[in-house]
Structure 1
Amino acid sequence: MKQALRTGAMALTALLLTAAAPPPGGWYRAVSLTPEGGHLIGNPDASVRLIEYANYTCRDCAAYNVQSEGVLGLAYLPSGRAAVEVRLLTETPIDLATAMLASCGDPARFPLNHNALLRSQARWMELVPHATAAQRQRWNQPDLAARGRAIAADLKLYDVMMSRGYDRQTLDRCLADSVLAARLKAASSAAIAAGVRRTPGFSIGGKLLRNTRDWATLRPQLDESLN
């Protein structure tokens, strides 16, 4: 009897340890969709969850990405105590199209898609002020797929995503995905309803952080939550 109990306890302990173990490559490689429509990067059972609200036309979001991405990946996510959830705001056609491209395919691809779009932002956003009236009309047409394709072509977003290994057919399928668009719009509406007025925005433990727009301001608040 004692042997059976001991064996059962060891099996349970092994199961718990397996459940808590990070995937190959560490917690930074663990990416999952959340019920709120975001992408969770890191341990889903982390004691601290940082939520980042962003959109791809936001210049401060691009600056924050450069400041934080490496530090989070090296100093915060590996322990499994902290995880980051990215939720995208999609109030404009360009924001929606870029969010759909970032979310294309396997969720595991999202973090590097996110980085690629933000790191190349200055290049493709430079094209927006020079768009013709005809191009802007295409960007605002009601058909989701045609609108997304026009934005991706005119702003050379296809080039950004093809550098990530995507082909044109896959990208076009994602740009036509009405279920994906609805999920992103719902997440955006929920963020606005929760009080997010500017991007980047952040919350820790469900509490929206005020006057926090960069890594220098965010980091001490994140550190405090981990103490």
Structure 2
Amino acid sequence: MNRIVPVIVVVLAIVAGGAWWFTQGDEAPAPGQTQTEQTADDGAGAAESGVTEMVMGSPDAPITLIEYASFTCPHCANFHEAVLKPLKADYVDTGKVKVIFRDVYFDKIGLWASMVARCGGEERFWGMTDLLMKGQRSWTQSGDPVTIAGELNKVGRLAGLGDDQLKACMKDEDKAKSLVAWSEANMTKHEITGTPSLIINGEKYSNQSYADLKKVLDAKLGG
């Protein structure tokens, strides 16, 4: 589990730098995919902040699972592959669970990735998240901001976003600051100290295997 460190001030200081790095690449675009749903906010201040909650599943699902995750957290990438995929098939698609993704920012790279993931709106968010989590090692491995920005641009294009759209998203400093403030408020409310962390119908759980998560969900469903 990745541990939270106080990076909020640092992140705010580098938002404009991120916008500059993101205007530099010119790789060729590629076709995209994806799907998402949004329901009402049940967390800290999304409506007031203007941040859109990214929600997957039926608004009437009896269980709400909030996932706190970072796009630069290896444990979160593993969670999306090993846990979220079967969870979607077994519980989300069957109307039992709705999943809310809550961003956590350890560094500027995580913020950039979040802004790219959100750039296509609700319709593309979950597909973008799949691409970013699955390819996390590839786009983060260089450690160089310019190279990483170029790799994130590629991910955006794979999801069907154009250069102008990506640049506009990354130049939106007000949105970046809102995301950071919203994330900090949510983490404070739920006392989040590491990622991934789960809030299931108001109760906090640490990262766990799908088998263990199934036991928690089935117990809450009365199974």
- Unpaired runs of at least 5, structure 2: 1-34
Q: Which deviations, in whole Å up to 9, do the C-alpha atoms of 1:22-50 show, x marking residues without a partner?
A: xxxxxx85334735343111112222100
Aligned to 1:208: 204
Residues 41-80 of structure 1: pairs in structure 2 closer than 5 A: 41-80=56-95
Contact kept? 1:201, 1:213, Cα under 8 Å: no
1:190 aligns with 2:185: yes
Q: Equivalents in 2 of 1:31, 1:108: separation in Å? A: 9
1:121 aligns with 2:121: no
Q: Per-residue deviation at 1:151?
A: 5.0
Q: Equivalents in 1 of 2:157, 2:40: separation in Å? A: 23
Q: Equivalents in 1 of 2:100, 2:197: separation in Å? A: 12
Q: Equivalents in 1 of 2:212, 2:142: separation in Å? A: 31
**Greater relative contact order: 1 or 2 (C-alpha under 8 angstroms, separation 6 or more)?**
2
Answer 1 or 2: which has greater helix percent. Answer: 1
Residue among 142, 154, 161 paired with 1:166: 161
Contact kept? 1:53, 1:201, Cα under 8 Å: yes
Residue among 169, 181, 184 paired with 2:176: 181
Count of paired positions: 179
Contact kept? 1:40, 1:84, Cα under 8 Å: yes
Contact kept? 1:62, 1:121, Cα under 8 Å: yes
Residue among 86, 103, 111 paired with 1:96: 111
Q: Equivalents in 1 of 2:219, 2:179: separation in Å? A: 31
Percent of aligned pairs with the same amino acid? 28
Cα distance, 1:151–1:176 mapped onto 2, change above 3 Å: farther
Q: Per-residue deviation at 1:220?
A: 1.6
Q: Which deviations, in whole Å up to 9, do the C-alpha atoms of 1:87-109 show, x marking residues without a partner?
A: 01123111111111111132121
One-letter amino acid matched to 1:30: E
Q: Per-residue deviation at 1:205?
A: 0.9
1:30 aligns with 2:37: yes
One-letter amino acid matched to 2:217: L
CA RMSD, aligned part only?
2.1
Q: Per-residue deviation at 1:73?
A: 2.3
1:152 aligns with 2:149: yes
Q: Equivalents in 1 of 2:158, 2:138: separation in Å? A: 14
Q: Equivalents in 1 of 2:158, 2:185: separation in Å? A: 32
Q: Per-residue deviation at 1:165?
A: 1.0
SS in 2 for 1:31: coil
Provide the TM-score with structure 1 as the length reference. Answer: 0.71
Contact kept? 1:32, 1:107, Cα under 8 Å: no
Q: Rg bigger for which structure? A: 1
